Structure 1
Amino acid sequence: MHRRIIVQTNMDPLTDYSEVYQRLPLKVYLAYGMGHVLNDVCASMWFTYLLVFLHLVLDFTNAQAGALLLIGQVADALATPFVGYYSDQGDDFFICRYGKRKIWHLLGTICVILTFPFIFAPCVGCEDASKWSRMIYYSMFIVIFQFGWAAVQISHLSLIPEISPNEHDRTKLTAIRYAFTVLANVLVYVVTWAVLHLAGNDNNKINWTDAPKFQHIVWGVMSFGAVCSFLFHFLIKEHEQQNGYHDVRGTKVRTDLKELFTDVQVYQVAINYMCSRLFINLTQVFITLYLHEALDMVASSLAVVPLTMYLASLVTSFVVGQINRAAGRKITYTFGAMLGLAACIFIHFGKGKLYTDYLIYLVAALLGSASSIVLVSSLGVTTDLIGTRTNSGAFVYGIMSFTDKLSNGVVVEVIQGLHKDEKNTWFYRDILTYVCGASVILGVAAVMFVKRPLSVSESRRGLLIESDDTGDALN
């Protein structure tokens, strides 16, 4: 397998260079995928069950529960560009012999392990305190947890362009990352169902007596995530991978902040990424509340229906790379968006016993497949934007994540603040229909305006990396 690099400058004629490019071994794919599992199980608990836990178990109001989620999203949003910038500058620190990406990953992992269990537990020593005092208590753990989560996410994402220059290898790394994300979510829902089933909660609704059960779930899934993080740090050697990707002059392309912020494509890709994450996260956040309030389904359904979503995501993640290769990112993203819109339409009109017994699982499968296709395609567009700018990769991911986290937190808080009438049982149905549907439509509009498959730095320098697999990265 060979890689051909074509370089054209203003002074020199077109010149061909050939060098051997070894495709990544399976061990690297698997080890890389494991590096985000701890974050994934925590994110699954955070987005699927945080509002349920805070409102139904700890008795916070909808607005207070939404405010705590917003605090976490704002903390995450502020942390991501900070982590991204200093991760990119990591060359100057002696400790980064361990790896300028991996050291942030390790720091974040420690923060997550030490704080997340306290978020899904009754207030230690302050059970009888006022709700505002308890909100301050939970806010402290949430802020530290979100900083750690952001450090792991950004450092892990920024390893993709470091590991390989090949467009399709990068898509595969993104796909394997998402496949492990899906497996982590499946684990969370299986463990949740098992805990509720063994506790005899199959036919009951969630209430304050379920607090210990959430602790069992959290410790169970986090133990698995911690083991995966250890294997990631043991198997991935950052410096060995970084040595494989340079331009023909032997140095990686750097990008200054002025160039980055004056590139219109950065904003287009950020809007696409933000809308994609809004669709995915809002469906995950509100599907359980929709099942609980609108459809009046029992506790076990709060695990089984999300599990169906992620099983469909898992199946789709195995083929989304091939779909991207055959159709390009734009067409693939649009196809995923159409599946998501179909699910939103089903939700709007769905009611009755036939729907709650059977068709709700079809809706869950459509949502899961759409989420897989939309996210992998959106991340692929982001890696295309980074191109050879690997020394700015973490900051670019930080910008994308900033828009994602801040918008998610604000939207969830606004939605929860608007839900003041407990008798309006169809509130979350309308949220899933209109807000999620609008998000994915806007995501399609944004990706359609992304015209160039190369980054600004590559365009200015005339650098084009080709592989044996041909095809436009975006069209």
Structure 2
Amino acid sequence: MPEKDSMDTALKIDRFGHFKLWHGAGSAVVAISFSSVFGGCLPCKIFGTNSSIMRTVGYSVFSAIFNVGWAAAQVSHMYWSMVNCITLNPTSRVVLASCRNAFTMVANLTLYAVALAVFSASKSRTRIDIENEVETNVPGKVRQRISWAHWFKKVLYYQVAVLYMLTRLVTNVSQALLAFYVINDLQMGQSSKAVVPAIIYICSFVVSVILQEMTWTGNRLKVFFTAGSVLWIFSGAGILILPSSMHNIMYLLSVTIGVANALMTVNALS
């Protein structure tokens, strides 16, 4: 029988491999379903009809498939599983979450750089070592897989679920709705649809990089998450009362939103 440490490492590698399979399969499903949603009504082309019922069924089915694939990729890799499997150290987890958040910002900034170019041309208005850590087993005790129903008896399960749900809600609102807000409510120029989100992502990127260089404890995670939450409350209040005649203040609010997003996302995941 192999030594306990070797067995634990093998178990983690095995689980990590399963995560990669889920992530790969989820990514493939997302690629197929996403292109089907935005590439036209595929069932309409297959059955040779363009009725509203067929379009509704077609888009609904592929949207549902997309959400299944997205959940598989998201849960297995993008947020919780791989980070927690790689390391138990709070500082290392923040570093990994910060790296992921930073590269997400880079990807989104690239998108908004392209959008800015399109809107502008349009005529319309210290290095930290990350170690793989293994849990220490108590001699004589056998590892047992916890039942899935076990978590529903834990208060912490619901605390984490609510915390993560609200964090994602906040960041998704800033990503999806601000472009409509600056155009429809603040009456800003078309380029602002790219500039405002770009400022948010740049600030999030900078904060994510800074967070990597800090040493983390549970209390510090809570303090920084709370700071991000307070920043977002003030930013949201500013958005609520901001008149269109003072729309330039939105650029300042974009800075605070970007900082708040990074503080909340990185610390919530860590």
TM-score (norm 1): 0.47
**Counterparts of 2:149 and 2:15, CA distance in 1:** 29
The amino acid across from 1:349 in the alignment is I
Find the partner of 1:375 among 248, 265, 268.
265
Q: CA RMSD for the aligned pairs? A: 3.1
1:309/1:97 Cα in 2 relative to 1: closer, same or farther (>3 Å)? closer
**Counterparts of 1:150 and 1:377, CA distance in 2:** 21
The within-5 A match list for 1:17-416 is 99-123=17-41, 129-156=50-77, 157-197=80-120, 200-201=121-122, 203-204=124-125, 244-249=133-138, 254-321=145-212, 325=216, 328-353=220-245, 355-356=246-247, 358-380=248-270
The amino acid across from 1:138 in the alignment is Y
The amino acid across from 2:92 in the alignment is D
| Contact 1:186-1:310 within 8 A present in 2 as well | yes
Report which structure shows greater RCO (CA 8 Å, sep ≥6). 1
**Counterparts of 1:351 and 1:373, CA distance in 2:** 27
The amino acid across from 2:256 in the alignment is L
What does the per-residue CA deviation read over 1:377-411, in whole Å, with 9 as the maximum and x for residues that have no partner?
1112xxxxxxxxxxxxxxxxxxxxxxxxxxxxxxx
**Counterparts of 1:130 and 1:281, CA distance in 2:** 33
Identity within the alignment, % = 31
Indicate the larger mover: 362-371 or 248-257. 248-257
**Counterparts of 1:361 and 1:173, CA distance in 2:** 29
How big is the shift at 1:165? 2.4
| Contact 1:175-1:321 within 8 A present in 2 as well | yes
The amino acid across from 1:201 in the alignment is S
**Counterparts of 2:239 and 2:31, CA distance in 1:** 36
**Counterparts of 1:335 and 1:122, CA distance in 2:** 44
The amino acid across from 1:119 in the alignment is V
| Contact 1:201-1:300 within 8 A present in 2 as well | no
What does the per-residue CA deviation read over 1:124-164, in whole Å, with 9 as the maximum and x for residues that have no partner?
66699354532322222222222211111111131112111
**Counterparts of 1:246 and 1:325, CA distance in 2:** 19
**Counterparts of 1:188 and 1:98, CA distance in 2:** 30
1:317/1:268 Cα in 2 relative to 1: closer, same or farther (>3 Å)? same
**Counterparts of 1:324 and 1:342, CA distance in 2:** 27
| Contact 2:179-2:193 within 8 A present in 1 as well | yes
Aligned residue pairs, count: 248
Matched residue SS, 1:248:
coil
TM-score (norm 2): 0.79
Unaligned runs of 5+ in 1: 1-18, 20-88, 205-240, 381-475
How big is the shift at 1:340? 0.7
What does the per-residue CA deviation read over 1:407-453, in whole Å, with 9 as the maximum and x for residues that have no partner?
xxxxxxxxxxxxxxxxxxxxxxxxxxxxxxxxxxxxxxxxxxxxxxx
The amino acid across from 2:103 in the alignment is F
Matched residue SS, 2:137:
coil
Matched residue SS, 1:325:
coil
The amino acid across from 1:302 in the alignment is K
Matched residue SS, 1:318:
helix
1:117/1:190 Cα in 2 relative to 1: closer, same or farther (>3 Å)? farther
